[in-house]
Amino acid sequence: MTEPALRRPRVRRSLLALGATVATTAAVLLAPGAAARPAAAPTVLAPPDVPVANVKAHLAQLQSIATANSGNRAHGRPGYKASVDYVKSKLDAAGFTTVLQSYTYNGATGWNVIADWPGGDTAHTVMVGAHLDSVSAGPGINDDGSGSAGILEAALAVSRAGLQPTKHLRFGWWGTEEAGMVGSSKYVNGLSAADRSKIEAYLNFDMIGSPNPGYFVYDDDAKLDQLFRTYFSGLGVATEPETEGDGRSDHAPFKNAGIPVGGLFSGADYIKTSAQASKWGGTSGQAFDRCYHASCDTSANIDDTVLDRMSDAIAYALWTLGTEAPPPPGTVYENTADLQIPDAGAAVESPVTVSGRTGNAPAALQVGVDIKHTWRGDLVIDLVAPDGSTYRLKNSSGNDSADNVLTTYTVNASSETANGVWKLRVQDTAAQDTGYLDSWKLTF
Q: Which residues are marked as active site?
A: 177
- Smallest gap from residue 178 Cβ to ligand DTR (A): 6
Asked whether position 308 contacts Zn ion by CB under 5 A, the answer is no
- Smallest gap from residue 120 Cβ to ligand DTR (A): 27
Which partner, Zn ion, ligand DTR, none, binds residue 378 by CB below 5 to 8 Å per kind? none
SS3 121: strand
Restricting to residues 161-180, name those near Zn ion by CB under 5 A.
178
**E strands, 67-196, where?**
97-105, 108-117, 121-131, 167-174
User: In this complex, which beta carbon is closest to ligand DTR, that of residue 207 or of residue 426?
Assistant: 207
Angle at the Cα of 237 from the Cα atoms of 157 and 303, rounded to 5 degrees: 65
Asked whether position 206 contacts Zn ion by CB under 5 A, the answer is yes
User: In this complex, which beta carbon is closest to ligand DTR, that of residue 247 or of residue 345?
Assistant: 247
Binding residue (CB under 5 A) for Zn ion from 58, 87, 139, 144: 144
Q: Any idea what DSSP says for residue 18?
A: T
Question: Please, what's the b/e burial string for 291-325 (b: 16 or more CB within 10 A of its CB; e: otherwise)?
Answer: bbbbebbbbebbbeebbbbbbbbbbbbbbbbbbbe
Cα–Cα distance between 237 and 266 in angstroms, integer? 13
User: In this complex, which beta carbon is closest to ligand DTR, that of residue 263 or of residue 420?
Assistant: 263
Assess contact for 175 and 80: CB atoms under 8 A: yes
Residue 23: Cβ within 10 Å count: 10
Assess contact for 224 and 262: CB atoms under 8 A: yes
Residue nearest to ligand DTR (CB): 245
- Smallest gap from residue 218 Cβ to Zn ion (A): 14
- Smallest gap from residue 62 Cβ to Zn ion (A): 14
User: In this complex, which beta carbon is closest to ligand DTR, that of residue 31 or of residue 238?
Assistant: 238
Contact residues for ligand DTR, defined by CB under 6 A: 143-144, 177-178, 206-207, 242, 244-245, 248-249, 265, 268
Asked whether position 221 contacts Zn ion by CB under 5 A, the answer is no
Which partner, Zn ion, ligand DTR, none, binds residue 244 by CB below 5 to 8 Å per kind? ligand DTR
Residue 25: Cβ within 10 Å count: 10
SS3 383: strand
- Smallest gap from residue 220 Cβ to ligand DTR (A): 11
Which partner, Zn ion, ligand DTR, none, binds residue 242 by CB below 5 to 8 Å per kind? ligand DTR
- Smallest gap from residue 33 Cβ to ligand DTR (A): 44
Asked whether position 143 contacts Zn ion by CB under 5 A, the answer is yes
Which partner, ligand DTR, Zn ion, none, binds residue 265 by CB below 5 to 8 Å per kind? ligand DTR
User: In this complex, which beta carbon is closest to ligand DTR, that of residue 217 or of residue 442?
Assistant: 217
Assess contact for 174 and 132: CB atoms under 8 A: yes
User: In this complex, which beta carbon is closest to Zn ion, that of residue 144 or of residue 334?
Assistant: 144
* CB neighbour list of residue 13: distance below 8 Å, 6 or more residues apart: 22
SS (H, E, C) 66-93: HHCCCCCCECCCHHHHHHHHHHHHHHHH
User: Which stretches of the chain bind Zn ion, using CB under 5 A?
Assistant: 143-144, 178, 206
